[in-house]
Homo-oligomer: A and B are copies of this chain.
Amino acid sequence: MSSRSYGRDPDGVRPTRIDPGFVPSATGSALITQGETRVICTASVEESVPRWMAGRGTGWVTAEYGMLPASTGERKARDVSKGRPDGRTVEIQRLIGRSLRGVIDFQALGERTVWLDCDVLTADGGTRCASITGAFVALDLACRRLIAEGKLAASPLNGSVAAISCGIVEGTPVVDLDYAEDSTAEVDANVVMTGDGGLIEVQATAERTPLSRAHLDDLLALAAVGIEHLRAVQEDAVAAAAS
């Protein structure tokens, strides 16, 4: 296999940092930087829920995802210029929403909606996973703010969640693919896990050659290690915000 960016081994995650409070106007926010990929994540709280679930006393979490036009090498037209989000955007924001809903107790949240917005500043692979990892920090900070403001008695979060990509590149299972690796990978997977190792979502796609069960096991093992690392970065970010 060709050498990996940042001199990484197959199980190496790119240097990752999470800056909490990056967007002060949001209830919670974080800028996640994972290698050359950077995503602005915000959590905005609205004191109501979609009409179809009003009156039940339970809350909702939903996500939107976008890419700044200059985030990729070649300018990417805004979704609005075509009048609707493209298919990839729809797929990604549904994944982010499901992932974060996996660790929140809607009863405890009460009848309010948290909007998670993930806007990609620069894209070098793994933006959907970085969005999930960063959005969790934004969501956690928003919950803490609601507690501090007396709107919630305790955190509605029943765990943490993070995500990482993995794949088979030139026959080798690797974790946290950058754009160059992603575009040549035979298999591309995204794994979302809770902080205590439960799977929230697994998506594996064989782009060229079918994937064997053995390789899938390798990928899941790599992902588990990577997510453990990201969990620590999330904890540091939340701790930094609190101090």
| Min CB–CB distance A104 → chain B (angstroms) | 12
| Min CB–CB distance A70 → chain B (angstroms) | 4
With A and B bound together, what is the CA distance between A177 and B210 in angstroms?
A: 25
Copy count, this protein chain: 6
| Min CB–CB distance A148 → chain B (angstroms) | 17
Type the 1/0 row for A81-117, where 1 means its CB is closer than 8 Å to any CB of B: 1011101101101100010001000000000000101
Number of residues of chain A lying within 8 A (CB) of chain B:
61
Assess whether A241 is interfacial by the CB under 8 Å rule.
no
Chain B residue numbers with a CB within 8 Å of A102 are 206, 210
With A and B bound together, what is the CA distance between A193 and B211 in angstroms?
A: 9
Q: A23-B68, A23-B122 are in contact. Are A198 and B210 (CB under 8 A)?
A: yes
Residues 27-73 of A contacting B (Cβ, < 8 Å):
29, 36, 40, 42-44, 46, 64, 66, 68-73
Assess whether A212 is interfacial by the CB under 8 Å rule.
yes
Q: Cβ of B201 and Cβ of A204 under 8 Å apart?
A: yes
Assess whether A185 is interfacial by the CB under 8 Å rule.
no
Assess whether A178 is interfacial by the CB under 8 Å rule.
no
Most buried by B among A80, A85, A198: A80
With A and B bound together, what is the CA distance between A42 and B121 in angstroms?
A: 11
Q: Cβ of A70 and Cβ of B23 under 8 Å apart?
A: yes
Assess whether A146 is interfacial by the CB under 8 Å rule.
no
With A and B bound together, what is the CA distance between A44 and B210 in angstroms?
A: 25
Residue numbers of A with Cβ under 8 A of B are: 23-26, 29, 36, 40, 42-44, 46, 64, 66, 68-75, 78-81, 83-85, 87-88, 90-91, 93-94, 98, 102, 115, 117, 119, 121-123, 159, 193-194, 198-206, 209-213, 216, 220
Task: Sort A-B residue pairs by CB-CB distance and give the 10 closest, nearest first.
Answer: A198-B210, A42-B70, A26-B70, A44-B75, A80-B80, A199-B211, A90-B90, A79-B80, A202-B204, A84-B84
